[in-house]
Amino acid sequence: HNCSGVGTFSTCEATCGNGYGYASGAAAETFTCTATGEFQGTAPACEPSPCATLGLDSSDGYSHDCSGNVNSDSCIVACADGFSAPNGTSAAAILECGTSGYTGSMPTCEPTPCSSVSLPTGLDLEVNCTGLTTGESCMVSCAQGYSGAAANFTCTSLGDFSGQRPICTPQTCDDLVQGLLEGVTHDCSGVRFGSKCGTSCAAGHSLAANSALTELHCLWDAAVGQVTLQGASPVCEPDPCVDNFPSGESFQHDCAGVTTTGVCTVQCAPGYDGSSPQNLSCAASGVLEGDTPNCTARTCAARHLPGMQQGICQDLSFGDSCFTTCEDGYDASSGVQQWTCDLLPGGGGSVELQGSDPDCQPLPCLDNSPVSAQFQDNCAGVTTGSSCDVVCTSDYVGSPSNLTCGADRAFYGSLPVCQPRSDFPVPEVEDANVSNMSNATLIQEEEFVLNLTDFVLNLTDTIEVRGLLSLNVTDAEAFMNDPEALAALKDGLAAAIKVNPAYLTVTVSLTPFTVGNANSRRLASESSALYISYTVIMKKSEAAGLEANPPSATAFEAAISAAIVSKGGSLASKYSVVVMSATVFSISVVDDGNQFSGGGGGAVPDPWSCPPPPPAADAADIGMDGPAVWGAGIDP
């Protein structure tokens, strides 16, 4: 308290002293100094204070009964089980609870060492528990080469270890063997740590000379931290492949000498096209395995040369050959040449047709030359494939045209339509009664026949002349069906031969005539072709002149054209006639009833009857199904 020296009617405070504390609900009390000189007040309720907990337990090596002590209490502290005091020192001590806590000397307690006898043992374990004392722990784990969970062992107060022995199993070596040479195999699958196995040569391999098979051991490899198969490797050499090599000219490869597990490449050979190169593998069986590329021979491009026949040397594949020939209308002085589809020099695999070129030269045209008084041309010497120009002569007018020399060495094309100039002279017809046409008749049986019967003829010393003409006429079919045109044709023929038209029989056809050894010349343009066969009876003296100097194609053409013009009207504008050929093929003599051959030869029938029809072959040549009217009947 602080009541010392307090005067009358003054106050002071009383509190709990050291080692004591207020009871529950109590507090410091106030005292007053009265007039009597005495203090008046109530003392505070105080009780002893508890000592703080020691904080010691068995893990610290102590045991005690000092819990709950208050001021002025005492307790004993001793060494716990598994702990002991050093030699010469007490294992227990008394502590007093004072105002400032416990007072007294604590005993010295040290942990007792554990015996290793209680620890598990075995090659599969790794134990590191030496020198442990009470309360300390250690781990017992599986040794190298074994697998399993480690276990904790603790040194107890009894001086031995407490814990569960770990379960350890030997590890299995991988099949992969470090240092094992290629081609070597083994029977070590599933081999455990500490065991051994054997080696052998793999399929497709053979043991090398001076080598032997060995054993492998499953051991711990500290370098990699695991168990591995260890031991010396035998030497096994790969065997060469012996079967299924790529064959054929379309492939090239590097597979010769390839051995087991080896790889080679096969690709299309030069001159062949196909898929990309393929790899083949040499299997343990000695057979090459894999797909070969699809290779097809390359095709040579065609060579087109003037005059050479096309289509013979087209689409040739690499290695194929052909023989060149010239087209129709061409000839080669060098003869037939052989071409081969072969590789181009310099590599690269490209191919081309190789061989000497045929010397195909065009031949000159021989047939269908434009021979007419109406034309002039530059067609002489024109060869196959070339063209020439045909124009009207100065006595005619018309547009020019072009002819081409075909492969059959004949000219093809349309001739000019040449009309006579208005001042072109019409030739006079000697002894020809061109107006005596009243009895003309037309008979049509596959061909058209003009038969004139009203004439008078002295049969003494008579001559029968036959001839053929080939014409190009504007619209031949219309011409043949036009009576005016046919009459002009007959008048023109009579004028050219210089006979009376009454003595003339004319046969007109759209197809060529073949009579005996004589043939109408076939024209190139069938749409404008007209073929004429005529028979005329004349005196011997006249026939002699005709035989010596027969009318030319030009003379016939001029006479026929003049006759057409003389008819007047639209006839000249409708038809243009070009005589392409004219032939006198038979002159026969009739004398006093006896027949003689002359000129072209051959007997002549009685002039008072129809001449016999041509042979069956001749009728077929002109497209006849039966006999045709050949000559003119003569009215006696």
Quick: pLDDT tens for 477-521: 888 889 899 999 998 998 888 888 878 888 888 877 655 554 555
Of residues 431 and 496, more confidence is placed in 496
Q: Are 358 and 305 in contact (CB under 8 A)?
A: yes
Instruction: Provide the pLDDT for residue 142.
Output: 94
On whether both 502 and 583 belong to a single domain, the answer is yes
Q: Is a pLDDT exceeding 60 seen at residue 464?
A: yes
**Count of helices and strands (H, E) across the chain:** 6, 49
Of residues 468 and 593, more confidence is placed in 468
pLDDT in tens, 49-62: 888 877 777 777 88
Distance in angstroms (rounded) separating the CA atoms of residues 463 and 547 = 11
DSSP 3-state assignment of 58? helix
Nearest alpha carbon to residue 484 among 552, 492, 526, 579 = 492
Token pair 């609870």 in the structure block, residue: 97
By percentage, how much of the chain surpasses pLDDT 90? 27
pLDDT band at 423 (very low <50, low <70, confident <90, very high): low
Q: How many domains does the chain fold into?
A: 7
Would 325 be classed as within a structural domain? no
pTM value surpassing 0.75:
no
On whether both 396 and 414 belong to a single domain, the answer is yes
pLDDT in tens, 267-312: 999 999 988 999 999 999 999 999 999 999 999 998 888 888 877 8
Would 523 be classed as within a structural domain? yes
Average confidence score pLDDT of the chain: 79
Would 302 be classed as within a structural domain? no
On whether both 406 and 465 belong to a single domain, the answer is no
On whether both 198 and 217 belong to a single domain, the answer is yes
Cβ-proximal residues to 355 (8 Å cutoff; 6+ apart), any chain: 324, 337, 338, 339, 340
* Identity of the residue numbered 583: T
Would 344 be classed as within a structural domain? no
Structural domain that includes position 38: 11-48
CATH number for the domain spanning 64: value is 2.10.70
On whether both 27 and 138 belong to a single domain, the answer is no
Q: How far is CA 401 from the centre of its chain?
A: 52
On whether both 132 and 257 belong to a single domain, the answer is no
Nearest alpha carbon to residue 376 among 578, 583, 575 = 578
Residue that finishes a domain, picked among 194, 214, 238: 238
Would 485 be classed as within a structural domain? yes
Q: Is a pLDDT exceeding 50 seen at residue 536?
A: yes
C-alpha pair distances (Å), 150 with each of 41, 161, 165, 192, 519: 74, 15, 8, 20, 127
On whether both 601 and 496 belong to a single domain, the answer is yes
Q: Is a pLDDT exceeding 60 seen at residue 602?
A: no
On whether both 498 and 608 belong to a single domain, the answer is yes
Would 73 be classed as within a structural domain? yes
Nearest alpha carbon to residue 530 among 543, 513, 518 = 513
Instruction: Provide the pLDDT for residue 512.
Output: 77
